[in-house]
Amino acid sequence: MNIIVCIKQVPETTEVKIDPVTKRIVREGVKGIINPYDSYALEEAIRLKERFGGQTTVISMGPPQAESALREALAMGIDRAILLSDRLFAGSDTLATSYILASAIRKLVPFEIIICGRETLDGSTGQVGPEIAFHLGIPYATFVSGINQVADGQLECVRLMEDHYETLALPLPSLITVVKEINEPRLPSLRGLLRAKKAEIPVWGASNISGKIEFFGQEGSPTRVVECWHPEIKAEGKVVKGEPEQLAQILYETLKEKGLV
């Protein structure tokens, strides 16, 4: 069984900076990490290989520095890694990103399962996984919290809903996006770290994959960011010190002034 995992390197910070001209996230000089939800996708791919056999491949689109995320995935136990990096890919929105990833995945046929994280921390759209499935013409399931079985050309999984769980059976090949309830990602072993350090990671550009260049990058992205801003925190507050009885009286009077009691 061949399993493909799509991951993204995201900034390791909550203080995200936006370029005022391009309206894109500034990634230069910011340390990157594997998107947390993608760590669960990597772990599940390794577990599926351990249960059913096969090969695992991790693929990521990004600048050259994204190679470090791929090496971390290899250290966890993924078999091989591929980096998609080309100036023509810059500025891709979710549609262009999913198109580029799907174009690269076609070179990895045959495969049975594609696993993505639920969403990325820097975008939080949850769109790329389903869009990859659309481009490839395969079924998909989102918010997967468990995989029961892979047999007889089907994947049986459990999907996390708002107030319940549902069990689905998808014909293979198929794609799933996973939530953190599905597993607990392992730490890389020393042997894995040494293997990852020596591994050769091929870099695929626009000329290495199928697909139309007009659907790559900013030109192939229908999304247009008009303006970006940081939310302003206007909450008022004050610190009150005293004995419990005094604090209770102050709280009561404050609530009374506001008409809440």
How many Å apart are CA 34 and CA 115, to the nearest integer? 15
Task: Kindly state the DSSP code that residue 176 receives in the 8-state scheme.
Answer: E
Looking at residue 14, its pLDDT comes to 61
* Residue 227 CB-half CA count within 13 A: 3
Domain edges within the chain: 2-215
From 80, 13, 14, select the one nearest 42 (Cα to Cα). Answer: 80
The structure tokens listed for 95 are 């549609």
pLDDT digits (tens, 9 = 90+) for 160-218: 999 999 999 999 999 999 999 999 999 999 999 999 999 999 999 999 998 899 999 99
Looking at residue 30, its pLDDT comes to 67
Residue 14, number of CB atoms within 10 A of its CB: 6
CA-angle at 127, arms to 104 and 135, nearest 5°: 40
From 82, 70, 63, select the one nearest 217 (Cα to Cα). Answer: 63
Strand stretches in 66-191, DSSP E: 80-84, 113-117, 140-151, 154-160, 165-171, 174-178
How many Å apart are CA 159 and CA 101, to the nearest integer? 24
> In what helix (H) or strand (E) does residue 10 lie, and over which residues does it extend?
strand 9-11
Domain 2-215 has CATH 3.40.50.620: yes
The structure tokens listed for 261 are 């009691």
Positions in the chain whose pLDDT score sits under 70: 13-17, 20, 22-30, 229-231, 233, 235
How many Å apart are CA 196 and CA 189, to the nearest integer? 10
Cβ contact 105:121 at 8 Å: no
The structure tokens listed for 157 are 């999984």
